[in-house]
Copies of this chain bind each other. A is one copy, B any other.
Amino acid sequence: MLGVLGGMGPLASAEFMRRLTLLTPAERDQDHIPAVLWSDPRVPDRTAARLGGGEDPLPALLRGIRGLEAAGCGAIAIPCNTVHGWFEAMQAATPLPILHIVDAAAAELARLGVPRGRIGVMGTAGTLAMRLYQQRLEGRGYECLVPTETEMARLVTPGIAEVKANRVAEAHAPLAESARALAARGARAVVLGCTEIPLGIAAGPPLPFPVCDTIDALARAAIGWARGA
């Protein structure tokens, strides 16, 4: 049984469950992957904790992990990029393997035909400040471009907030503009490194360059785990 630590945000978690289902080869209910989704949107804001001295989310995260352990799960997927800043602390606190979303993104980039080189990485201000993607991908031959501070303030941060407030259609234009700016600066692909971003990007016409959807990427990693288990 797969454990999904979600609610960050809840729409991204629901979409993760949808993609997990749609990407699983199945002919009937009983062919699908059993999963428990712990969707607790009350987890303190991850970016505020990292950048502004906001409340530590770790105790709430560990409550969710305890719940997934008690449910009998065999591995944990977390459809939120920023929370992977607490990956080591979470992994140290549970015997269950946690699937790392940046590893899943790297596998997805390779699947998209971009196994190395210059890529764009969009994400929350917290994810970018922690250099989550850079730390894990630069050793594998990737060079990560990120939005400028102006692009973050004008496009990415407001776009993510629109999705969290259920205004998905309104999120498309600013998020797509930020992705296009990264491609214009030489990115061969753009990682949508916050699980709200693919929801906004999907609400408009497709972009003319490869995008790495971290919801799909994590769903494929989870399906791979379930097949091997």
Question: Which residues from chain A sit less than 8 Å from chain B, CB to CB?
Answer: 1, 7-11, 13-15, 17-18, 20-22, 24, 26-43, 45, 67, 70-72, 161, 164-166
Asked if B29 and A164 sit within 8 Å, CB to CB, the answer is: yes
Closest to A17 in B: B14
Closest to A167 in B: B27
Q: Provide the bound-state CA to CA distance between A10 and B219, in Å.
A: 14
Asked if A26 and B165 sit within 8 Å, CB to CB, the answer is: yes
Whole-angstrom distance from the CB of A192 to the nearest CB of chain B?
18
Asked if A21 and B166 sit within 8 Å, CB to CB, the answer is: yes
Asked if B21 and A18 sit within 8 Å, CB to CB, the answer is: no
Pairs across A and B, CB under 8 Å, 11 listed: A9-B21, A10-B17, A10-B21, A14-B20, A26-B164, A28-B161, A28-B165, A31-B41, A34-B41, A67-B72, A70-B71
In the complex this chain forms, how many copies of it are found?
A: 2
Asked if A41 and B37 sit within 8 Å, CB to CB, the answer is: no
Asked if B11 and A22 sit within 8 Å, CB to CB, the answer is: yes
Whole-angstrom distance from the CB of A1 to the nearest CB of chain B?
8
Known pairs A10-B20, A34-B41 / 15 extra A-B pairs, C-beta < 8 Å: A1-B40, A7-B32, A7-B35, A8-B29, A14-B20, A17-B39, A22-B166, A27-B164, A27-B165, A28-B165, A29-B42, A29-B43, A29-B164, A31-B41, A38-B71
Contacts of A42 in B (CB 8 A): 29-30, 34
Whole-angstrom distance from the CB of A71 to the nearest CB of chain B?
5
> Which of A29, A42, A43 neighbours the largest number of chain B CB atoms within 10 Å of its CB?
A29
Contacts of A165 in B (CB 8 A): 26-28
Contacts of A1 in B (CB 8 A): 40
Closest to A16 in B: B14
Whole-angstrom distance from the CB of A122 to the nearest CB of chain B?
18
Contacts of A22 in B (CB 8 A): 11, 166
Q: Provide the bound-state CA to CA distance between A32 and B9, in Å.
A: 9
